[in-house]
Amino acid sequence: MIKRKKSCLAQRKAATDLKRRYGASMEGQQSQNLSARISNCLQTILELEPDLERLRLGHVLIKEFTILKSFLARMDRIDIDEGDVVRIETATENFLRELKTPLALMELERIRKYIVH
């Protein structure tokens, strides 16, 4: 019975040691993954900046780009969790969906200028 207790204690200690040794590393990797996902969303939006400048309401959105750029620059100092990332990914997806039609119409107008009638 005593040997068994020591064995359980030894197993617990070994598990705790492993968690200490590799837990921080895994948490760091998860944090990097979350940061990369948010960075991807922000970069996707920032890549649209030239197109948005040509839209009528583009000037309103351009002001927000400054905020996005500063947020992106501070990503490594911000604590985020999976829920935050999912919300940002969903918001990015919705934003892109809303822009799809205005950007397509703008492109169509641009192409029409070159069509000879």
pLDDT tens track for 66-93: 888 888 888 777 788 899 899 999 999 9
Question: 33, 85 in Cβ contact below 8 A?
Answer: no
Model pTM score: 0.64
Average pLDDT (1-19) is: 48
> Model confidence at 7, in pLDDT bands (50, 70, 90)?
very low
Per-residue pLDDT, 31? 80
25-79 pLDDT tens trace? 566 688 888 888 988 998 998 898 888 888 776 677 777 888 888 888 887 777 8
What is the distance between the terminal CA atoms of the chain, rounded to a whole angstrom? 95
Radius of gyration (Cα) for the chain, nearest Å? 24
pLDDT at 9 over 70: no
Per-residue pLDDT, 90? 93
pLDDT at 23 over 60: no
